[in-house]
Amino acid sequence: MSEKIFIENRYNIYCDESRMENPESRKMVIGALEVLRKDVPGIRKQLKEIFRKHDFKYELKWTKVHKGFLIFYKTLIDFFISNSAMSFRCIVVDKDKVNLKRYHDSDEELAFFKFYYLLLKEKLLSNNEYYIFLDKKPTRDKNRIRALHAFLDSYILLNRHSCNIKHIQALSSKENIFIQFADFFTGLVGFACNENDNTITPKISLIEYLKEQLGRQTLCETTYLSKRKFNVFVWEER
């Protein structure tokens, strides 16, 4: 008889990426917003109310940040910081240091999903159940997401974690406010780790505001895994 897994908590994880295909950006970022599953309906309702209050009728995207909605964006950051049911983790990758030929069969898409694996495996804790949603993007290999699921399951088995990935799929960001939220934070870190111009802009203001709320000097250094609220992993080739 198989051992019954005790499920302590169920989580939704919403993922997006930034600057993967931008040749002008040296560093790309993949981010994952984790939300306690039972709180998803209530948080969605609260986020929609924030959107309504600030008359924001658009898809939330970092690339579309506008100075006219600066208070709205700061309100979203405040909401995230104060909500114990939400956390964020991202991986920052220097694309110049990725040896595609040696480790990834000269396949950028394969390398991308390997970094997804490195990002997500540290989110998997014992006695938890996970539902993972990736931002929907075209892939040459239609089995990428299925393979990612299989490798994460193997990691769970090898490390004897008593957790379970119940579901994983790709969704359009236009249809999911949480993937949009993941886009916002992922793009923010991507901007912070690539831009050298310190001219005060709405995006710089938001980066400084988030750093202030987190009590950090930078968003571009690896944080301890214990820093679960806003965790950053800067990948280094070994």
- Dist CA 86 CA 80 (whole Å): 7
Domains observed in the chain = 9-234 (3.30.420)
Averaged over 42-54, what is the pLDDT? 98
pTM for this structure? Answer: 0.91
Q: Given this model, what pLDDT does residue 17 score?
A: 94
Do residues 109 and 139 make contact, with C-beta atoms less than 8 angstroms apart?
A: yes
Residue type, 33: L
The answer to whether the Cα torsion of 127, 131, 137, 141 is positive or negative is positive
The tokens describing 186, both together, are: 């992922």
Helix (H, G, I), strand (E, B) or coil at 4: coil
pLDDT grade for 1, boundaries at 50, 70 and 90: very low
pLDDT grade for 141, boundaries at 50, 70 and 90: confident
Q: Vertex 211, ends 76 and 173: CA angle to 5°?
A: 40
For 80-112, the pLDDT digits (tens) are: 999 999 999 999 999 888 776 665 565 677 788
Q: Given this model, what pLDDT does residue 2 score?
A: 41
